């Protein structure tokens, strides 16, 4: 294929264009969690799906999107105090650590975003997004505190009951959905603060996939 024949590279899985600004683990959970590995995707060089995907003209665009998500997450967790106290070189180290797959370099900065004052029980709000394959809505995102007014830690189940109660199966009913984070199904009793600290993606968000329960 000649260079002039290439408009913009994009990827697709079984007819669904893959959004480059979604974490790859989230895309796999949503679209292919029951597929055999390695994950087979199709690379396209023509026919960019304008209605489905954002353009990605350069790696600078990816860096800008990543840092925007990190800043949004810190606004929820710490009123932006942590990210604003960092220097520009810290922001660059965070990105380059991710970009170059250097965990120590990344974590030296990211661990500061995962801390909270000792006198508090967690973050101000939990940065999360819930994705469903059965709806046209891109994702659900609301303000949700990790600790209840009575001091009890909120759980994953509490979050789901609050923002998408249809996902929770009745006690005597059949489970119709799977709740996935990083390819696993956390127990609904898991404290949300713990999940945010340990299962957030590099952009500091909990990306939660809700997919239909496999029938086989």
Domains and CATH numbers, the chain: 1-57 (3.10.20.620), 59-114 (1.10.246.190), 128-212 (3.10.20.90)
Say what percent of the chain tops pLDDT 90: 80
- To which H or E segment does residue 173 belong? none
Q: Please say if the pLDDT value at position 142 is more than 70.
A: yes
Residue 13, preceding bond cis, omega within 30 degrees?
A: no
State the Cα–Cα distance between residues 167 and 176, nearest whole angstrom.
8
Position 172 scores a pLDDT of 65
Of 143 and 214, which is predicted with more confidence? 143
Confidence of residue 198 (pLDDT cuts 50, 70, 90): very high
Position 214 scores a pLDDT of 78
Position 216 scores a pLDDT of 63
**Radius of gyration of the chain from Cα atoms?**
19
Return all residues near 12 (Cβ < 8 A) that are at least 6 apart. 18, 41, 42, 44
Position 5 scores a pLDDT of 53
Contact indicator for 140, 129 with CB cutoff of 8 Å: yes
Mean pLDDT of the chain: 92
Position 154 scores a pLDDT of 97
pLDDT, tens digit, 9 for 90 and up, residues 68-112: 999 999 999 999 999 999 999 999 999 999 999 999 999 999 999
Q: Please say if the pLDDT value at position 6 is more than 90.
A: no
Confidence of residue 43 (pLDDT cuts 50, 70, 90): very high
Of 115 and 134, which is predicted with more confidence? 115
pTM as predicted: 0.91
Across 122-214, where does the E strand assignment appear?
128-132, 177-180, 206-212
Sign of the C-alpha dihedral computed for residues 181, 187, 192 and 195 taken in this order: negative
pLDDT, tens digit, 9 for 90 and up, residues 144-191: 999 999 999 999 999 999 999 888 877 667 778 899 999 999 999 999
Confidence of residue 3 (pLDDT cuts 50, 70, 90): low
Position 109 scores a pLDDT of 97
Position 79 scores a pLDDT of 96
């Amino acid at each position: 294929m000649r260079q002039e024949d290439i408009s913009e590279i994009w990827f697709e899985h079984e007819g669904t264009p893959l959004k480059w600004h979604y974490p790859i683990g989230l895309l796999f959970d949503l679209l292919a969690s029951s597929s055999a590995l390695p994950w087979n995707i199709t690379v396209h060089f023509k026919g960019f799906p304008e209605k489905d995907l954002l353009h990605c003209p350069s790696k600078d665009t990816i860096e800008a999107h990543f840092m925007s998500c990190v800043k949004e997450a810190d606004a929820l967790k710490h009123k932006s105090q942590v990210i604003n106290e960092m220097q520009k070189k810290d922001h660059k180290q965070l990105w380059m650590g991710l970009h170059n797959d250097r965990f120590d370099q990344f974590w030296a900065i990211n661990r500061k975003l995962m801390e909270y004052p000792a006198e508090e029980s967690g973050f101000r709000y939990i940065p999360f997004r819930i994705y469903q394959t059965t709806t046209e809505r891109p994702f659900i995102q609301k303000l949700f505190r990790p600790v209840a007014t009575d001091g009890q830690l909120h759980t994953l189940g509490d979050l789901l009951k609050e923002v998408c109660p249809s996902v929770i199966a009745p006690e005597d009913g059949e489970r119709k959905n799977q709740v996935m984070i990083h390819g696993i199904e956390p127990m609904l009793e898991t404290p949300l603060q713990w999940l945010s600290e340990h299962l957030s993606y590099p952009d500091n968000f909990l990306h939660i996939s809700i997919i239909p329960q496999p029938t086989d």
